[in-house]
């Protein structure tokens, strides 16, 4: 490391020793490394999700499945239901695949970045984070917070995503050999609490004296982002079918959007109507309102169609299941379908259930 890089690492670690966030998956600065299982689980949950949102899920998972072996032995449906509301459901499927791969290989996570990359669902970032935080290996750990800190520190003006190569190289230069896990977490904390997206608190930053963006008087200009393309907007229908205080739920295919989750039956989200068209059974159907939901690559208006027939509904048992309305929260519906279900309950006058 050159003198500037050593200066940056030293100042940052000294700041972290005083200001580290207390998080349930962390060990305090200078303490023995935390359980790799907890590090890995937290890093998977934190992908594209806030710390505040993850805390309760992390507590729920580690209470119910305290070891990687416990998680590996869990039923898919149970894990998917416990994940409901956290979003990006491919992460939950990868979580199970990785836990089972670790269990089958002896029950312990490998301690090198290269070996961690071989596990299902562990990309460049997650493998580096687990290697550094759980095993103290020197690794270049770059999440969105680190990306912002480093782009400002070196005034890297190459627009994202192309600029990430230069940002990663700069992060490599300032990453020390010692206290690799603490350094990675210090960078994350600095980005989350001081070097924030808007209104960075530069006067409190331990790196302001080394920060090119700050000296130029425009730290918020970095990282430079390419203009966002407008998201496509799609329409779809979901169907609310109730019999004897139970609603008909299906399980979505294992691959694809919201894969493996329980859900209301739907039309594949390619419709253009208002929810009054044909459904999984012959009508009559009446409109029950609509909800909007944003996914990574598109937004969706989901129109709810209410079955309003008076006859007893019969559906093939291998196509889904009747789920008690008073236990609907236990079904683990993803957020989109939980929103739609609230419309269905409201239409029945069941908002107090």
Q: Which residues are catalytic?
A: 43
Separation between Cα atoms, residue 353 and residue 345, nearest integer Å: 8
**Assigned token pair, 104:** 């089958």
- Long-range contacts: 289-292, Cβ < 8 Å, 24+? 289/343, 289/346, 289/347, 290/343, 291/336, 291/339, 291/340, 291/343
Contacts of 131 (CB under 8 A, 6+ apart): 111, 112, 113, 116, 137, 139
> What does 112-162 look like in DSSP terms, one character per residue?
SHHHHTTSTT--HHHHHHHHHHHH--------HHHHHHHHHHTT--SPBTT
Separation between Cα atoms, residue 293 and residue 331, nearest integer Å: 19
Separation between Cα atoms, residue 184 and residue 302, nearest integer Å: 41
Give the residue among 338, 340, 353, 347 at the shortest CA–CA distance from 87.
338
What count of other Cβ atoms lies within 10 Å of the Cβ of residue 32?
7
**Assigned token pair, 211:** 């920060």
Question: CA gyration radius for the chain?
Answer: 24
């Amino acid at each position: 490391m050159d003198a500037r890089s050593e200066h940056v690492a030293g100042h940052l670690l000294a700041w972290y020793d005083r200001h580290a966030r207390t998080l349930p998956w962390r060990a305090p600065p200078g303490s023995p490394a935390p359980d790799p299982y907890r590090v890995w689980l937290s890093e998977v949950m934190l992908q594209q999700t806030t710390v505040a949102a993850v805390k309760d899920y992390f507590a729920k998972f580690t209470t119910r499945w305290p070891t990687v072996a416990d998680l590996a032995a869990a039923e898919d449906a149970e894990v998917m239901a416990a994940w409901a509301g956290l979003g990006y459901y491919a992460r939950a499927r990868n979580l199970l695949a990785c836990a089972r791969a670790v269990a089958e290989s002896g029950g312990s996570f490998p301690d090198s970045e290269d070996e961690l990359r071989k596990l299902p669902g562990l990309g460049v970032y997650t493998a580096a984070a687990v290697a550094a935080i759980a095993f103290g290996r020197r690794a270049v750990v770059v999440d969105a917070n680190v990306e912002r800190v480093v782009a400002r520190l070196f005034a890297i003006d190459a627009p994202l995503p192309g600029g990430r190569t230069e940002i990663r190289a700069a992060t490599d230069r300032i990453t020390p050999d010692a206290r690799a896990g603490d350094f990675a977490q210090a960078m994350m904390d600095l980005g989350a609490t001081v070097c924030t997206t808007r209104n960075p608190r530069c006067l409190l930053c331990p790196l302001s004296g080394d920060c090119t963006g700050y000296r130029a008087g425009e730290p918020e200009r970095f990282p430079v982002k390419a203009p966002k393309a407008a998201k496509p907007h799609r329409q779809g229908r979901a169907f609310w079918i109730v019999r004897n205080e139970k609603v008909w739920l299906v399980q979505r295919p294992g691959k694809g959007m919201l894969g493996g989750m329980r859900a209301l039956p739907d039309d594949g989200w390619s419709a253009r109507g208002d929810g009054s068209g044909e459904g999984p059974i012959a009508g009559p159907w009446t409109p029950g309102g609509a909800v909007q939901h944003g996914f990574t690559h598109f937004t969706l208006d989901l129109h709810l169609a209410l079955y309003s027939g008076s006859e007893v509904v019969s559906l093939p048992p291998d196509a889904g299941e009747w789920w008690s309305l008073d236990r609907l929260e236990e079904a683990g519906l993803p957020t989109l379908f939980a929103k739609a279900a609230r419309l269905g309950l409201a239409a029945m006058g069941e908002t107090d259930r």
